[in-house]
């Protein structure tokens, strides 16, 4: 990757006004540990390091070597015994000469070492400034930089794998290839314009239309992975809902492996949302226990019911717990489930969980409910919300037979059926993208840029069969190229940098 052009907006960003300075910061988390790392990077890094170092001269050692020595305080006393690791300019993370001091983990020592480096001529690093310099010096691009932030924040194996893929640049290389295709298409159209008076057609519009359709398909395919990718990155919102005393809180505790929620035979015990996370098969799930859904005159319980419905509206996965021992039977609970889905702005992935199999009732009730749900009963056909029908032909609607919803017999009390449940949860979480795939979109900024790119390309596809002049069509192609370029930083508004790097921690 080449360093950025001096005229790039990256170099005129407010965050890089002191681009020629040497910066220093603690690069390990706040707190006390065995060791901490203080990073120093910039054109004077080696000189400043030598001025506070007693040991082998760091400006004379080979890159990527570590050296034991002492950091000397301003009064000449030893501040700490440390290991200095040296990286030559052009061979470091930032692209600049860099020294990383591994010091003892005392908070006082960490802060004093940074102060000592500042006294010797360094400047305090701003949030994300080391990574920003890596981007500015062509070591990584913006998408890779955001992958680094995601790697730091990764809280599950799936999130780590997604971040690692983005850090490697696989996503960026794919986008660069797509962007080059658009640049080539725009060039052909503009060349046609240059020779318009000679009546020479350099761009076969049918061929360009085919290229455009291919690009749209690739862009839309990437964008389609965002919903599942975001959930895998941040945790799949999994809401546990149903009637009071169906066993929802017991199920939450079982999935978490902890007594997170109070379990009682008294209906209405859960009156607020209880949430915690658990990693299952490498995927982070945010399990959300909710108040039992019922009509109530208790104002406090009603608040809990209202909050439960809001959580259901935002769910990625809905676990509807059915109590086969309920005196009213299973069918009313299925009707309540269907009515709940009808009220939602979008349909989440859903599972029907027939609880209390340890009492011997769940399996037979599950079988009987399948017969009931597959009947012609109007109440058990779920109409898909309009917001979920945007891709259907105009005038058509869609409904889902309740019998198509997966159903599992479980016992939240003794754990029966939980292996089947966790396997199904994994399948639903991965629907829409494969966590092991090379390219999955997890960043909202990237998704919005892809969506804008697709919109511009659709306009191009609509215009190519017309007699519209090439320069007007090329304008939409340039717009598509612009939006795609903002993802990797090929096109970078200065305010975008401030937004991205302000989210980084200092020292990264």
Contact 282, 274 (CB under 8 A): no
- Superfamily in which the 228-430 domain is placed by CATH: P-loop containing nucleotide triphosphate hydrolases (3.40.50.300)
- pLDDT for res 196: 54
Q: 195: pLDDT confidence band, cut at 50, 70 and 90?
A: low
Residue 434's Cβ-count burial label (10 Å; 0-12, 13-18, 19+) is exposed
Lowest mean pLDDT among 9-23, 197-211, 241-255: 9-23
Q: In what order do the strands lie in the sheet with 274-280?
A: 274-280, 283-289, 236-242, 317-322, 349-354, 407-409
Residues with Cβ within 8 Å of 200's Cβ and at least 6 positions away in sequence, in order, are 192
- pLDDT for res 30: 80
Contact 301, 268 (CB under 8 A): yes
How many CA atoms, within 13 angstroms, populate the side-chain half-sphere of residue 365? Answer: 28
Residues 41-89: tens digit of each pLDDT: 999 999 999 999 999 999 999 999 999 999 999 999 999 999 999 999 9
Residues with Cβ within 8 Å of 427's Cβ and at least 6 positions away in sequence, in order, are none
Fold entry, domain 164-225+440-488: 1.20.120
Q: Any idea what DSSP says for residue 232?
A: H
Q: 218: pLDDT confidence band, cut at 50, 70 and 90?
A: very high
Residues 406-446: tens digit of each pLDDT: 999 999 989 999 999 999 999 998 886 666 667 889 999 99
Q: 298 in helix, strand or coil?
A: coil
Average pLDDT over residues 110-135: 95
Average pLDDT over residues 436-458: 90
- Geometric angle at alpha carbon 284, from 343 and 231, rounded to 5°: 45
- Which has the closest alpha carbon to 153: 372, 442, 346? 442
- pLDDT for res 298: 72
- pLDDT for res 270: 57
Domain spans in the chain, listed from the N-terminal domain onward = 9-141, 164-225+440-488, 228-430
- CATH number for the domain running over 9-141: 3.30.1360.120
Res 318 pLDDT > 90: yes
Res 221 pLDDT > 80: yes
Average pLDDT value over all residues in the chain: 83
Residues 469-482: tens digit of each pLDDT: 888 888 899 899 99
Res 7 pLDDT > 80: no
């Amino acid at each position: 990757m080449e360093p950025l052009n001096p005229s790039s907006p990256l170099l005129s960003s407010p965050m890089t006004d002191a681009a020629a300075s040497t910066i220093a910061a603690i690069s390990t988390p706040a707190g006390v540990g065995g060791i901490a790392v203080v990073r120093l990077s910039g054109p004077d890094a080696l000189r400043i390091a030598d001025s506070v170092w007693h040991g082998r001269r760091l400006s004379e050692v080979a890159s990527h070597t570590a050296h034991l020595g002492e950091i000397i305080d301003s009064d000449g006393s030893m501040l700490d015994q440390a290991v200095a690791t040296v990286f030559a300019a052009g061979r470091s993370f930032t692209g600049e000469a860099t020294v990383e001091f591994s010091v003892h983990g005392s908070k006082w020592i960490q802060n004093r070492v940074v102060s000592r480096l500042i006294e010797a001529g360094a400047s305090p690093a701003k949030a994300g400034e080391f990574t920003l310099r890596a981007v500015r010096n062509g070591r990584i691009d913006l998408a890779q930089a955001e992958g680094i932030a995601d790697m730091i924040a990764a809280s599950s194996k799936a999130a780590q794998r997604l971040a690692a893929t983005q850090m490697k640049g696989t996503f960026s290389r794919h986008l660069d290839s797509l962007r080059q295709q658009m640049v080539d298409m725009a060039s052909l159209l503009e060349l046609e314009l240059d020779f318009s008076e000679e009546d020479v057609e350099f761009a076969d519009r049918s061929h360009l239309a085919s290229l455009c359709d291919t690009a749209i398909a690739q862009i839309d395919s990437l964008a389609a992975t965002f919903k599942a990718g975001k959930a895998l990155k941040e945790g799949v919102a999994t809401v546990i809902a149903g009637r009071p005393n169906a066993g929802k809180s017991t199920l939450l505790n079982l999935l978490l492996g902890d007594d997170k929620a109070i379990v009682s035979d008294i209906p209405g015990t859960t009156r607020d949302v209880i949430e915690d996370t658990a990693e299952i098969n490498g995927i982070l799930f945010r399990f959300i226990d909710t108040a039992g859904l019922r009509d109530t005159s208790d104002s406090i319980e009603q608040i809990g019911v209202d909050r439960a419905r809001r959580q259901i509206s935002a769910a990625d996965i809905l676990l509807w717990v059915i109590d086969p021992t309920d005196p009213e039977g299973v069918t009313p609970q299925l009707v309540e489930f269907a009515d709940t889905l009808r009220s939602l702005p979008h349909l989440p992935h859903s599972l029907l969980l027939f609880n209390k199999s340890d009492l011997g009732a769940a399996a037979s009730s599950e079988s009987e409910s399948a017969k009931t749900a597959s009947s012609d009963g109007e109440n058990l056909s779920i109409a898909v919300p309009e917001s979920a029908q945007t891709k259907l032909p105009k005038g058509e609607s869609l409904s889902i037979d309740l019998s198509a919803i997966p159903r599992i017999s479980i016992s939240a009390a003794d754990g029966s059926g939980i292996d089947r449940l966790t396997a199904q949860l994994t399948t639903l979480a991965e629907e829409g993208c494969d966590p092991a795939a090379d390219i999955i979109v997890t960043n909202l900024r990237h998704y919005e840029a892809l969506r804008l790119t697709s919109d511009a390309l659709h306009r191009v596809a609509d215009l190519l069969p017309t007699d519209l002049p090439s320069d007007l069509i090329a304008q939409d192609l340039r717009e598509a190229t612009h939006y795609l370029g903002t993802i990797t930083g090929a096109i970078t508004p200065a305010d975008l940098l401030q937004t991205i790097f302000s989210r980084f921690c200092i020292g990264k």
